[in-house]
Every structure is written in structure tokens, then in C-alpha cells.
């Protein structure tokens, strides 16, 4: 497969960029990386392999970023470092300083895959992919918070404007503080173009209004499961419209999605997602989403 372009959050996932955790995760100091008490590197790697099997069973093509012992413990969260458009990849600049070295890995992977580089976010701006949600191919909503800042949003907007893409910024709350990971995608995930899973207590009001304007139906994630999952219950992986992978152990969130017509696949990945403070959706950088 050679196509690229993923300006949509829910079209069928065909091709992705991933990085299997290995030595860098094994050697990670949990306090330095802000990993939680459920962190366990060996279990996280086993959890990750479960996700890979699920994607391979579904014939999703995986382009691999090779694992090296380079100390980039968070680098399995590939969704945060790039956005892939129909015109090429945009390599982002993470707001978490320890992740800065990941950008070069992504650039090299796109070069190797023959995917042109549309641009990159440069200092001083920061943008993380977890903050970026496509409403349609011409409209990108971006959360402005601790990981993505005003300079980054301005730079992304300038880069994408010639492609006819509007970039809209939405303020995120501080929530659990400067060291924690909170993205726009932590509080809203598209399950289909017209359906989103949201966590209302910390959803930006203006973004909520935008979803209403766009006619998006919203499912509210149960608060106690959001809390018990340390905020990871909303960050599901959308394989295709209403075709969802979520963390096992959150039955009320699952039931809410099933009632809205979703097929839900469960993955046991506590050590990986709750331990490493990232959602399932963050583990996959879509290269191609296509009907």
C-alpha cells in the first residue's frame, strides 16, 4: 500500500505509523516520565503486542519506527508527533521536552516510506497530535493547553492554510497540573464523523458548541470511569465508523458506546495506557484513513 492522507478521525484505518516499546521503556525512570503506579514496562510491552495483533488481524498496514535504545520512552505514542495529510506529513514539535527527539524519527520514517514532508513545527511553537481533531478534511480543531501552545497553533495554521485547511484553537483546562498529559483528544474522541465520546466536566465550552453546530451527537463518558482510568477512558482508538477499540475494565463507557451503535473491541492495556499516561488512540499515527 502506498497511499497517505488521514484528514478524518473515523474513516477506516488502512495504514499507520507505530513504534514498539523496548529498551527505552524498560530503562525509563517512572518519576521522570510522569508514569503512574500501574506502570510496568514488561507488561506494557505485552499490552502493546496485543494491540499490534488486533491491527494485523484487521489488515491494517503498519509502518514501523525502529526501536533503538535511545531513551525516548514515550515514543510509542506516535500519534502525537505527526499529522498526515493528502499532501504529505506535518512533523510536530511536542510540548513535553523529553519527547523532542521523536521528531527526527518521524521525519526519517516518512522519507523512507516515500511520503513527502509538507512541513514541520519549529521552535518556539509546540503542537501535539493528541490535541488535533479533524472535523472534516478542511477543518482541524486544536486544543491549546500545556502541550500545544499559541505559537504552535499559529504555525500549524500558516502551514495548512495554503491547503485550504482552517485551524481552530480551543483552550484546555490545567486539570492535573503542568506535568500531566491532557490533550483535546483526552476529553473528546470521534467514534464516527457524527458521533463523539466526550468528558463534559473539562471539555472546552466553545468546542462543545462547535460539535453541536456540526451536528455531532455526543456520548458522555461516565465520570467514575474517567477517574478510575486516570483520564484514559475517552482516548479510544477508532478503527472505522463506530468500530472502536477501548481499554478493558470500563463497562459503563463501553455500554454507552454500544447503545449508540458502536462495535467495541476490548484490549487489556492498563500497564501501557494508564501506566504510561496515554490513550489507546495515541499509540497509532494514522497514515491513511480511507473508505
Residues for the chain: how many in total?
A: 291
| Residue 69: φ, ψ to 5° | -80, 65
Q: Report, in Å, the least distance between residue 188 CB and ligand CIR.
A: 12
277 near ligand CIR, judged by CB under 6 A: yes
Using rule CB under 6 A, residue 96 touches ligand CIR? yes
Q: Are 129 and 164 in contact (CB under 8 A)?
A: no
**Residue span binding ligand CIR (CB under 6 A) among the ranges 19-27, 205-213, 243-251, 273-281:** 273-281
Specify the residue, 115 or 181, whose C-beta has the smaller distance to ligand CIR: 181
Kindly tell me which of 114 and 239 has the beta carbon lying closer to ligand CIR. Answer: 239
| Residue with smaller CB distance to ligand CIR, 3 or 52 | 52
Using CB under 6 A as the binding rule, whether residue 231 contacts ligand CIR is answered as no
Closest alpha carbon to 139 in 58, 47, 211, 54: 211
Among residues 106, 183, 242, 254, which is the contact residue for ligand CIR, using CB under 6 A? 183
Report if residue 149 touches ligand CIR, rule: CB under 6 A: no
Binding piece for ligand CIR, criterion CB under 6 A, among 15-23, 103-111, 133-141, 270-278: 270-278
Binding mask 1-40 for ligand CIR (x = CB under 6 A): ----------------------------------------
Smallest gap from residue 45 Cβ to ligand CIR (A): 15
- How many angstroms separate the CA atoms of 180 and 183, rounded? 10
Say whether residue 221 binds ligand CIR (CB under 6 A): no
Total residues interacting with ligand CIR, rule: CB under 6 A = 16
145 binds ligand CIR (CB under 6 A): no
**Is position 225 an interface residue for ligand CIR (rule: CB under 6 A)?**
no
x/- track of binding to ligand CIR for residues 64-93 (CB under 6 A): ----------x--x-xx-------------
Site membership for ligand CIR, residue 185 (CB under 6 A)? yes
Interface with ligand CIR (CB under 6 A): 74, 77, 79-80, 96, 99, 130, 181, 183, 185, 235, 276-279, 282
Amino acid at each position: 500500500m502506498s497511499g497517505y492522507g488521514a484528514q478524518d478521525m473515523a474513516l477506516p484505518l488502512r495504514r499507520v505509523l507505530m513504534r514498539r516499546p523496548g529498551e527505552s521503556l524498560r530503562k525509563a525512570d517512572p518519576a521522570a516520565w510522569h508514569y503512574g503506579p500501574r506502570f510496568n514496562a514488561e507488561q506494557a510491552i505485552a499490552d502493546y503486542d496485543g494491540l499490534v495483533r488486533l491491527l494485523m488481524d484487521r489488515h491494517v498496514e503498519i509502518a514501523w519506527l525502529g526501536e533503538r535504545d535511545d531513551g525516548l520512552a514515550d515514543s510509542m505514542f506516535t500519534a502525537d508527533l505527526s499529522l498526515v495529510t493528502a499532501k504529505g506529513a506535518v512533523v510536530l514539535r511536542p510540548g513535553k521536552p523529553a519527547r523532542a527527539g521523536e521528531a527526527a524519527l518521524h521525519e526519517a520514517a516518512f522519507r523512507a516510506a516515500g511520503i513527502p514532508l509538507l512541513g514541520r513545527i519549529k521552535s518556539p511553537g509546540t503542537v501535539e497530535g493528541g490535541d488535533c481533531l479533524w472535523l472534516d478534511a478542511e477543518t482541524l480543531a486544536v486544543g491549546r493547553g500545556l502541550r500545544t501552545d499559541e505559537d504552535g497553533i499559529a504555525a500549524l495554521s500558516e502551514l495548512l492554510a495554503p491547503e485550504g485547511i482552517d485551524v481552530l484553537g480551543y483552550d484546555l483546562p490545567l486539570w492535573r497540573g503542568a506535568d500531566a498529559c491532557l490533550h483535546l483528544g483526552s476529553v473528546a474522541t470521534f467514534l464516527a464523523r457524527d458521533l463523539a465520546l466526550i468528558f463534559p466536566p473539562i471539555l472546552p465550552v466553545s468546542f462543545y458548541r462547535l460539535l453541536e453546530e456540526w451536528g455531532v451527537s455526543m456520548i458522555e463518558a461516565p465520570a467514575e470511569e474517567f477517574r478510575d482510568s486516570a483520564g484514559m477512558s475517552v482516548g479510544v482508538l477508532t478503527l472505522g465508523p463506530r468500530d472502536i477499540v477501548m481499554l478493558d475494565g470500563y463497562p459503563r463507557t463501553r455500554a454507552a458506546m454500544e447503545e449508540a451503535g458502536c462495535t467495541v473491541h476490548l484490549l487489556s492495556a492498563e500497564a501501557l495506557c494508564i501506566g504510561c499516561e496515554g490513550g489507546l488512540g495515541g499509540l497509532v499515527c494514522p497514515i491513511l484513513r480511507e473508505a
